[in-house]
Amino acid sequence: MLGQESKWRFAWLFIIGFLFSSFPALAERAEINNLHQHMSLLFTGFLLAVFIGGVLLYFTTKGIRFLYYAGYLMMSLCWLNSRPDGFSFNDWAFSSSLSSVFFCAMLLFSLHFMPKLQKSGYTKRIKKVKRTLTVVCATWLLVSFFLPYQLASLGSLTLSLTLVIGFVCVGFIAYKQAISGAKSYISAWVFTFLFLVFYALNQFGLFGADYVFKAILIAMFGQTLLLAIALAFAYSEERFNALATQKEALIQAQHASEAQAKLIEVQIEQQEELEAMVQERTFELEVTLRELQEKNQELEEKSTLDPLTGIRNRRFFDKKLLAEYRRSRREQTCLTVIMLDIDHFKRVNDTYGHQAGDDVIRQVAKIAESLLKRPTDAICRYGGEEFALILPATEAEGGLQMAEDIRQQITEKDLHTCGGALSITISAGVASCIASGKKSEADLLKSADDALYQAKQTGRNKVVVSN
């Protein structure tokens, strides 16, 4: 089957072939009526010029209405040349049949370049009527080819009057909707209506054939010109609307782009503000955490210090002893613990008062701390008048020497208190071991405490080393 484009090409080739085939007949009869021939030639040239313009506009603008209008003009030209009173054919019957066919084709084409109406209640009705009339015209086009000329002419006239009245009504609707070119469209079909009325009256023999032919040329000239003007106005308005729509779309796109740019700018500003706030809050949090850590360290430090003597307390001693005992087991080094106790401390308190007793405790702690030789060594107040020393990586002999040095320093010095100068002695117990899994740090501490108890029981003011 032929495609849509091939069908159009075939139709145009047939029409152009028909026009060229009429030229020899025109030349043969050129001497019959020079005025008649000159008018026909001039009008034919006018229609061809407008037809070519319509085709060119279609290829330029892709507006299908221009192509339908060009087809309408071509059918008009074919109808004019196929009439029995025309100048193209000598065969009356054949030319009469063709005349009806081309006239119906004119009506078909005229249905398809009406003004584009705005959407309203009329639009759907007009589309339905248009589809119905298209079917009627196509059917009549086939039927009229086989009917007698008079009957075909009368049917075509009736159909054309109906269509023209419809076109005028559509034109008035377009005028009410302020569509450009509506006035010219109405004028064209009113002009055509008047001609059809004249043509109908002519069927009763009221006018001569020469008047009819001249009326046809005048009516078709006026209609062609007015329809061309209407299409030109419609095209101008459509182009203006298209440009306006495009311009509005560009403006909207520009506004959208500007809005997007502003939005991006706002987002960037907000993001920068948020990042600055996060950085500020992070810095504040870091400072707070650092201060909190320092406070915690300070509290931890304070929690491990004895408030009376300023040396480490029992809490620190327990942690330190556990840590050093584990290191001794890990490194297999000797760990030494010394337990010190002030002799007859209750007598000091009872005789000189508790304040003097506190002074004694402070000075004993100070003397013992001053004799420590390594940062890893530690002295702690174990409780009351008792002190405990932890000496990592130290043999029993080293522990004994440290305990003797402390005992001698305290014994040889008079301790100045609020109750006067006092002579004080201490007793000490020393225990050493290399940590193992069989015993714990508590066992080591108990050994040192037992050695201290033995020193107390055997006369005080002495150092005993645990076995």
Question: Do the Cβ atoms of 382 and 364 come closer than 8 Å?
Answer: no
Please report where in the chains the tokens 């030229």 appear, as a residue.
23
Structure tokens at 305: 């210090």
Q: Which of 48, 441, 50 is nearest to 226 (CA)?
A: 50
Please report where in the chains the tokens 């030319």 appear, as a residue.
95
* CA 359/CA 174 separation, integer angstroms: 119
Is residue 273 annotated as a catalytic residue, yes or no? Answer: no
Q: Identify the DSSP state of 35.
A: H
Residue of 385, 386, 395, 404 with catalytic role: 385
- Exposure string over 192-204, b if 16+ CB within 10 A, otherwise e: bbebbebbeeeee
Question: Do the Cβ atoms of 355 and 416 come closer than 8 Å?
Answer: no
* CA 459/CA 426 separation, integer angstroms: 11
Sign of CA dihedral 441, 445, 447, 448: positive
Q: Which of 451, 328, 312 is nearest to 387 (CA)?
A: 312
Q: Which of 221, 179, 215, 168 is nearest to 196 (CA)?
A: 215
Separation in Å, CA 201 to CA 14, 253, 298: 34, 61, 124
* CA 165/CA 189 separation, integer angstroms: 8
Question: Do the Cβ atoms of 141 and 156 come closer than 8 Å?
Answer: no
Burial of residue 334 (CB within 10 Å: 0-12, 13-18, 19+) is middle
Q: Identify the DSSP state of 431.
A: E
Question: Do the Cβ atoms of 322 and 441 come closer than 8 Å?
Answer: yes
* CA 333/CA 322 separation, integer angstroms: 14
Give catalytic residue positions.
385
